[in-house]
Amino acid sequence: MRFVAVYAAVCCLVLPSGAGAQAESPLVYPSPPGTGAGAWAPAYEKARALASQMTLEEKVNITRGFAADNVCAGTTGSVPRLGWPGMCLHDAGNGVRATDLVNAYPSAIHVGASWDKNLTYLRGLYMGKEFKAKGVNVILGPNAGPLGRSPLGGRNWEGFGVDPYLSGQLNYESIIGHQEAGVIANIKHLIANEQETYRRPYFGVEAVSSNVDDKTLHEFYLWPFADSVRAGVASVMCSYQRINNTYGCMNSKMMNGVLKTELAFDGFVLLDWNAIHDVNSVNAGLDMVMPLGGSLGNNLTAAVSNGTVTEDRVTDMATRILAAWYLVGQDVDFPVPGFGIQNLTLPHEQVDARIPESKPILLEGAIAGHVLLKNENNALPFTQKLTMLSVFGYDATIPRTKNTDNLFQLGYTSSEEMGQAVLGTPERFDQAARGGTIVTGGRAGANAPAYIIDPLAAIQHRAAIDDTWVNWDVTSLTPDVNPASDACLVFINAIATEGWDRTGLHDDFSDGLVLSVASRCANTIVIVHAAGVRLVDQWIEHPNVTAAIIAHLPGQDSGTALVKLLYGEAGFSGKLPYTMAKNESDYNVYAPCGRGADNTTDPQCDFTEGVYLDYRAFDAHNITPRYEFGYGLSYTTFDYSALSISPRGTSRSAACQTLWDVAARVEVTVTNTGSAPGQEVAQLYVGIPNSPPKQLRGFEKVPLDPAQSAIIAFDLTRRDLSVWDVVAQDWDLQEGNYTVFVGASSRDVRLKDVLTISA
């Protein structure tokens, strides 16, 4: 017997079953109107009242983009007659893009490596306040897709990690923060948007079709979107590529069926910029077109006249947009849309969006996403004064230029190369951004920082305090090494950007630099700023490589954060939000899908691996990773004890149970058994019957002083323990034994017990 689900069932997806067959996405019509339930009720009451006063042309006007004096990524039409000002929509991932006097926050992959819910919320809150100060109504983030099906994904760094539970929890916190700040969050990209290669149609070639079965869709790719809707997210962005051979922004199954019916989403669906569409996409569930009206301008009015689209559908589109505006309080004391987003080369009013309260959050966030991989013989922290310190590597210094596209941070030499990259010439992509240190990835998710404290600058300032002699050579591939060096720091990076996918997970250029220094320095410490998975096996076991750090993308306080960690003024607490393999071939999904041997113009990408990705696949196939999902060292040690499981209605037939009811509470005691203060990320995994061996279902980060203990509680909901039943089109809590694992990583399991689900 199944428990009561929180949303209605809609017909399942269809994958190919015979030779030459293609995946199909069922048609789901009509588009369900927003209900305005729960927290949405007051906003819908106001939105319906305002929409009822609008003419058809006015309602159409607020659903499409217009050219504007500001440089917002998109600007909606307005309704001056009724005093509705329109909205500015703008990017996003690291902070407010294409403007001045804002901060560059740690990237999402860096935040994912922190595993810190509270820091994630605060980042979302203060970032949201900056967007509001600049007059941005809709922040085009956070990101639940891509999750990271391919470790080469060019936009993986814009998401929090490869696991849907981790992504869901941190997207939830981000959305709460953004919308409490008064801006509309926009979760993207719906759905299975897992590669940049052929993400859009080019020169007669269709965009790739992500062919995903119904079970995988619900248990993996939809999971963080469901968390986002539960957080009250006010807008969702549909994706460029096809899902089961229907374009994302024309896919009625995804927008009408899954999002608006199953998840009961009451906000508006936003088109990714210039994603393929026609007027029928409105019937498929699309509510807003960007950046300009295109075929949904006058054509939408005409479509109502000829009966292709009902006026009720247009009214629902407008109502959803207005309700989102009211939901976050933009009807009260909100700046003129886009007034702080002006062309910086023209005279403009300066709007300083930064607030003092954000500064400690920026630095703490930068510190928290660093992951210590290796620390032989306590090479770190530097507890004694260093007489001589040597610094090598292109990533140690500030980029040679600063502009809103961060071209040199991406390894580009011109905007022309950027354009060629977007059009699909991956051979032009450089694995390393050799122009300087990276604090973000590239394109829409990036922004221009207020400043960059690069690693070498921060080291120099510390050296001035300690009277340390610093050698540096940040250009040579085989630099001279002074044998008197107490330590040698080697800085390399791995860059990624929107527009195309990475070509590999290491590069000979950077690895050769590390080996050159390590061959002549007995205390070589490697720091890798990385936009995703970066393999380290060419040098990680070298006896002279005593320590290694994955520094991810820390934002503008990069160097300051690193020096605090190197000198023990802060402790490492980051954990990997993905698996680092020993070899590329260890990943069951590695390269993005292409056009195949026959160079088809209709590329198909079959997600045949289902939910078995990253650590789930490594566990299922018994592959030993170099560093597992959830791994990260600390300057102290932690002990786990006293695991207990308290069932709460753990029967399949429990009456009136919903997905979000707690089925069991798990508690564990964590103790700092070392000599230094530290923060531990306690992780809970569950072995669900007929599923991967372990799936993340809880994590909590706790600060502890030496000898201090804390009891950590994890609530397991019925959703956490359920699987998707394709036939019943419902979640199913299976009868049987569920192994509960608690520990410091997906493989460093300290305690385990069994939870039994009865009939």
Q: Which residues are catalytic?
A: 272
5 Cβ contact list (under 8 Å, min separation 6): 658, 659, 730, 731
The secondary structure element, H or E, covering residue 174 is helix 164-180
User: Which amino acid, 405?
Assistant: D
Phi, psi of 186 (to 5 degrees): -130, 100
Return the closest-CA partner of residue 199 out of 706, 659, 605, 539: 605
**The token pair that represents 628 in the structure block:** 């597992």
The packing angle between helices 41-51 and 311-327, to 10°, is 130
Cβ(123)–Cβ(175) under 8 Å? no
Q: Using alpha carbons only, give the angle 273, 274, 277 rounded to the nearest 5 degrees.
A: 125
Adjacency order of strands within the sheet including 695-704: 695-704, 678-687, 736-743, 749-757
| Integer Cα distance of 288 and 281 in angstroms | 10
Q: Using alpha carbons only, give the angle 287, 288, 292 rounded to the nearest 5 degrees.
A: 155
The packing angle between helices 358-368 and 558-566, to 10°, is 60
Beta strands in 328-465 (DSSP E): 371-375, 388-392
Return the closest-CA partner of residue 653 out of 663, 643, 644, 640: 663
| Integer Cα distance of 111 and 159 in angstroms | 9
One DSSP character per residue, 646-696 reads: EESS-BTT-TT--TTSEEEEEEEEEEE-SSS-EEEEEEEEEE-TTS-S-EE
| Integer Cα distance of 700 and 684 in angstroms | 9
- The one-character DSSP state at 239 is P
Query: SS3 of 325, please?
Result: helix
Residue found under tokens 């996918």: 501
Q: Note the Cα 12 to chain centre separation in Å.
A: 27
Return the closest-CA partner of residue 586 out of 610, 552, 611, 620: 620
Return the closest-CA partner of residue 667 out of 696, 645, 647: 645
Query: SS3 of 397, please?
Result: coil
**The token pair that represents 515 in the structure block:** 């080996």
Neighbours of 253 (CB within 10 A): 26
Query: SS3 of 563, please?
Result: helix
Residue found under tokens 């007027």: 279
**The token pair that represents 530 in the structure block:** 């990385």
One DSSP character per residue, 105-157 reads: PPPHHHHHHHT-HHHHHHHHHHHHHHHHHTT-SEE---B-S---SSTT-TTGG
**The token pair that represents 692 in the structure block:** 């991967």
Cβ(107)–Cβ(445) under 8 Å? yes
Q: Quick one: the chain helix, strand, coil %, rounded to 5?
A: 25, 20, 50
473 to 73, 436, 491, 495, 509: CA distances (angstroms): 40, 13, 11, 21, 16
572 to 386, 489, 561, 567: CA distances (angstroms): 21, 17, 10, 11
